[in-house]
Structure 1
């Protein structure tokens, strides 16, 4: 079986230029090579990190994707693997489920906080889509189960903190940074508890000309002092890391600019078992998204000093290890043995999925996407299954059986963002065609249509993120060997309305009559574009 080959051996995928296995995506490191920034060249923003013993855990933002609030694990702060998600769906609302013309693009759940306290792991987030703050807890961060609590209001960019006396707090806000005391069981804000501004106009330490007010709270108590990491964005400047410190949780706090280089900012401080210190932050890196950077930290007069001479180093004094993206991106043959998860952790649905619209058992060894309603275009369609794109170059390839398509159906492979592009097959009456569509402008354009007679087609999307080229091209093949370009190059653009790096997306939607379906034989990722040296 194909899946047994992928699971049990390490195989070079022909024409894709990388090594892939059932556990993830690997790039063979050079012996003795040091790690380099970004440590993950893919969309992993709003990082929160803790260390428990010799193991690091990180949470991140995936917004409108389901499952959500990913948890990653590392032994060296460089090589990370997905181990779980805190929730399958945030809530079942029209916005989060793409129902009744509503969506949660740019919304869903945002920046998280991660803590370990008295044998329990806590990961928290908030959502302006629902107006709530969410707290998830578990004794086993890798296997769960997670127990959820939520309350109003949504505490923006908060950081959970446990005091030694048993009280529990959140630091949150933008511009003015606030401290609020929670109920002992974390079920909500404590009536009559502490609720005050602890830093007024936190952006002021970066100067008077501020565009984005200070936010992104990450609080740690280190050697008896409280250290609060924040970010701000001066107009005409770059994302800037701030540090505040105090002898008391309630203040007063003194602050300074901690790092202003390459826009690397937002995250928190972390120490190693050997006593070294780092800041795990991220950088806005164009269309691929917000990518994590690891920044060395030294201490001077009880202040953390970030970077090397104020700069973020490209190379780190840490062995590269296996390199690559771990299991954050995977190839999938869609074959499952009994007891295996239905989908690898790398997969996330665009908004909440409709369980009636997808199956791995209707045709064993294939992913079947079935249309359950009529939609006008790709970004409105439910059950688009996504994975991250990644740098510096990447490809995604599918083998697609289109016999189940009905009149007005579209199915294929997309690059998801507001200005998306896709290559797919559409049926009009009894005729099939391979098409390339793009939304590079505010309207969707069909760039090319090629009549197609057959049942099986191969589709490919290629991304070039080198030097922020942010360009994609699309291809199709009738045999999986000879590839033909289709349409025009897509100029990929990161947009705030979607607030997420581009993602590969497998889709099938109907513009006329629901009930049609498409079968995907495999999805394979690679790093070598067609015609690249």
Structure 2
């Protein structure tokens, strides 16, 4: 046999093997990775309407808030809106008079579809109220709001088949209260009732995080209540209670203890499959969503594969988080476009008189209107999520209109934040890296800047829980120079969210200066790769 013939045989075999692999890939083999979203999307609530899934999440002190996401396949999600622009205008939500609401604001939401209306609900220590938002068009709005006292902790809105409407809420001891049929307030004459005296019992009654995060579902006439508990010395645990009547009696069991993946609920697909949507604490990137297959046995939802969270799912492949949940922005706007795409959220309520994308075409302008003593108390820091396993954010800053005492640049926002930017002092500009890794801000390095513009970049490495960032600058956008020191990015409870990229400008001495940002670009690779 000639060499040419042998090559042809091997080529044919290779093509056949490749064809076989392609057939296997399209025949339903697991292709979607867990986590389905490698970014901070905690406290999810999810519904399916027809063939479309919608999800809400927690963004606490950010504005706008209560984000709404959409998917056709449970894996690839895109932001479609927010339930509110402003939760409340109290000083703490607006960074006024030395007050802030880091780690608070709006917490775990509930999402429902009932009689042609979409309901997104939340509660807030910051306002002391329970907030109910409704719309007929979940993707375009507008949303209407009603709110009432008290602030019902981790509540689950539930519309029963008999036309009655409830909130289930609490921690450890779970309670139920009846609302008006349209969920506009507490039903007159009703009283709050204990639903389950100690919902933590199935995972042990010892000290730890009491059962909370209620989400209630009704499947084939039975009620199923999902909660999370965290036994001391153990891990985040999924607990499910079930009952034939909403008032009980309830029986409970541990439904999942693996990798700390917990807190969420049930979702079904048009073809009859079931999943539990849950999340996992994952260091500096935040709390990241997982899907876990569900099978029904003896009237119970059984989570996982042999009690474990699978690494892959029989769902369509992920196309990545860009541009659905994070995205670059050149700050150029066509007529009729929103001033800011949905990927952006402000750190607390902004002062809308002090920013613009129109005063200089193709630029975000951040102006100073007061003096501040710290980055975390400064208004109008514009943020979006970091993503894993790695991501980079970069910008081109025009610092020519900074005034003495101004500091503008690129941030990684959390309690132990890091900054790279331009400081203006005595008429001179310097590129400065600041680290708050110790809990307090320290200027680590300063480099004189002999020009008005500078390129800034932050690289984030979340691989294997490394949770480390480094900052870089460039004078020409081509050659990058590290500055300062690596930033460790721990997840801290005071801020209660994953690290976020931010564009900032604040004054420490006088007002009236401004910074112009030419663009913000996000990448899922970091420098040198």
Provide the rounded CA distance (Å) in 2 between the counterparts of 1:371 and 1:298. Answer: 56
Residues 52-67 of structure 1 aligned to structure 2 (within 5 Å): 52-67=49-64
- Checking the alignment, whether the CA contact within 8 Å between 1:79 and 1:325 is kept in structure 2 is no
Of 76, 82, 98, which residue of structure 1 is paired with 2:95? 98
Give 1:445 deviation, angstroms.
Answer: 0.3
Shift of 1:436: 0.2
> Residue 255 and residue 529 in structure 1: after superposition, are their counterparts in 2 closer, same or farther (change >3 A)?
same
Deviations 1:78-113 (A, max 9, x none): 110110100001011100000000001011000000
Inter-partner Cα distance in structure 2 for 1:323 and 1:107:
29
Task: Give the aligned length.
Answer: 503
Cα offset, 1:183, TM superposition? 2.1
Shift of 1:185: 3.7
Aligned pairs (5 A) from 1:43-442: 43-442=40-439
SS in 2 for 1:446: strand
CA RMSD of aligned residues (A): 1.2
* Structure number, greater radius of gyration: 2
- Give the conservation status (yes or no) of the 8 Å contact 1:44–1:291: yes
What is the CA-CA distance between 1:325 and the residue it aligns to? 4.4
Cα distance in structure 2, aligned partners of 1:338 and 1:389: 29
1:464 and 2:461 are equivalent in the alignment: yes
What residue in structure 2 maps to residue 513 of structure 1? Answer: 510
Deviation, structure 1 residue 354:
0.2
Superposition map of 1:2-81 within 5 A:
34-81=31-78
Give 1:324 shift.
3.6
TM, length-normalised to structure 1: 0.93
1:164-197: per-residue Cα shift (whole Å, max 9, x none)? 2221110000000001001234232123225211
Look up the SS of the partner of 1:173 in the other structure.
Answer: strand
Task: Quote the offset at 1:294 in angstroms.
Answer: 0.5
Query: Cα distance 1:529–1:323, how it changes in 2: closer, same or farther (>3 A)?
Result: closer
* Cα distance in 1 between the residues matched to 2:439 and 2:510: 26
Please give the secondary structure, in 2, of the residue aligned with 1:145.
coil
Q: Deviations over 1:116-165 (max 9, x none)?
A: 00110001000011110000000000000000000000000000011222
Structure 2: 5+ residue runs without aligned partners? Answer: 1-23
Query: Could you report, residue by residue, the CA deviation over 1:389-425 in whole angstroms, capped at 9, with x for unpaired residues?
Result: 0000000000010011000000000000000001000
Question: Is 2:474 aligned against 1:477?
Answer: yes
Match of 2:493 in 1: 496
Distance in structure 2 (CA, Å) of the matches to 1:90 and 1:31: 46
Native 8 Å contact 2:403 2:513 kept in 1: yes
Unaligned runs of 5+ residues in structure 1 are 1-29
Cα deviation, 1:465-498, whole Å, max 9, x if unaligned, reads 0000000000000000000000000011100000
Q: Which residue of 2 aligns with 1:5?
A: none
> Residues 482 and 104 of structure 1: is their aligned pair in 2 closer, same or farther, counting only changes over 3 Å?
same
Shift >3 Å, 4+ stretches = 30-33, 323-326
Contact 1:126–1:133 (Cα < 8 Å) also in 2: yes
Offset of residue 321 of structure 1: 5.0
Superposed CA deviations along residues 492-532 of structure 1, whole A, max 9, x for unmatched, are 11000000000000000001101110000000011221223
Provide the secondary structure at the position in 2 that maps to 1:95: helix
Are 2:416 and 2:440, in contact at CA under 8 Å, matched by a contact in 1? no
**SS of structure 1 residue aligned to 2:171:** coil
1:426-465 alpha-carbon deviations (Å, 9 max, x no partner): 0001111000001111321000000011111000001000
TM-score, with length taken from structure 2: 0.94
- Determine if contact 2:33/2:318 at 8 Å carries over to the other structure: no
| Structure 1 range deviating more: 190-199 or 445-454 | 190-199
Aligned partners of 1:80 and 1:326 also within 8 Å: no
Cα distance in 2 for partners of 1:464, 1:228 equals 37
Whole-Å separation in 1 of the counterparts to 2:35 and 2:181? 39
What is the CA–CA distance in structure 2 between the aligned matches of 1:108 and 1:194, rounded to whole Å?
Answer: 27
**CA shift for structure 1 position 210:** 3.3
Determine if contact 1:409/1:509 at 8 Å carries over to the other structure.
Answer: yes
CA distance in structure 2 between the aligned counterparts of 1:515 and 1:494, rounded to whole angstroms: 35
Paired residue secondary structure (1:213): strand
Deviates more, 1:41-50 or 1:189-198: 189-198
Q: Distance in 1 between matches of 2:440 and 2:163?
A: 55
Cα separation, 2, equivalents of 1:36 and 1:75? 16
